[in-house]
Amino acid sequence: MANTVKDFSVEEKLIAVLTLQKIDSKIDEIKTLKGELPMEVKDLEDEIEGLQTRIQNIDAEIESINKFIATKSDAKKEAQALIKKYEKQQDNVKNNREFEAINKEIELQELEVKLNEKHIKDATYEQKERMAQRTKTEEKIAALQESLKVKKAELEKIIVDTEKEEKQLFAQSEEAQKKVDERLLSAYTRIRSSYKNGLAVVPILRDSCGGCFNIIPPQRQSEIRQRKKIIVCEHCGRILVDNELNDQTSIQK
């Protein structure tokens, strides 16, 4: 972002970047308040979607099994019908040879009946397994949907409570960036992105860096209080400001 702030004193530059830090820290507080909720909501939605796809797949498997059972049931009926037909033919045979031939056909059809019954039994067991899986999946979806409902309600409440403030702070942050020296803004952005807490500008706290808490030598502290040059922590690289400047610098409500 191109800036035209070139003639400001070091103190004014420090105030500008410190103001930006305080605004961005307020935004970070709101994000912390939301916590992991946005990610948790997204994860729950993805998991529910995945389980719903699983139910669709189970339904397709159940339909396939039902068709298989229907086919085998028809085959069983056909075999039973042939058995009755052959049994009637046995009453009209002329010799033992014909009787034996028909008897073999009956035996074959009886085997066919038993084979189809086994297929139907196995498929029925598999069908029950799929139905049980479907029931468990539906129960899991119901539990996840309840959890999602709670998480969404929590997130929506936070959003409602903070939306106005967050929009205002984002606007303030954009405006504050325009007042920060270009090189200093670049350093601020780089340092801020390096730390989870987003602190790039910190005061001295109990003779220590407010970011990494390493001791700041007295001579260094004196230089920081003079505000004649930008000084960074030798340990963590954060921009250091004195307590008085930190306390005096505030942001609009």
pLDDT digits (tens, 9 = 90+) for 113-132: 999 999 999 999 999 999 99
Predicted local confidence at residue 35, as pLDDT:
79
Burial of 162 (0-12, 13-18, 19+ CB in 10 A): middle
Would the pLDDT of 73 be above 50?
yes
- In a 13 Å sphere around the CA of 235, the CA atoms on its Cβ side amount to 11
Instruction: Please report which confidence band the pLDDT of residue 253 belongs to, taking 50, 70 and 90 as the band edges.
Output: low
Q: What is the mean pLDDT of residues 89-109?
A: 89
pLDDT at 49 over 60: yes
User: Phi/psi at 58 (nearest 5 deg)?
Assistant: -65, -40
CB atoms within 10 A of CB 223: 16
Model-level pTM greater than 0.75?
Answer: no
Q: Half-sphere exposure (CA, 13 Å, Cβ side) for 136?
A: 8
Least confident of 15-19, 81-85, 158-162, 237-241: 158-162
Cα–Cα distance list, 43 to 50, 133, 159 (Å): 10, 22, 19
pLDDT in tens, 26-42: 899 888 888 788 889 99
Give the number of residues written for the chain: 253
Position 34 scores a pLDDT of: 83
Q: Is the pLDDT of residue 53 over 90?
A: yes
* 20 closest CA partner among 222, 233, 242, 182: 182
Q: What is the pLDDT of residue 8?
A: 82
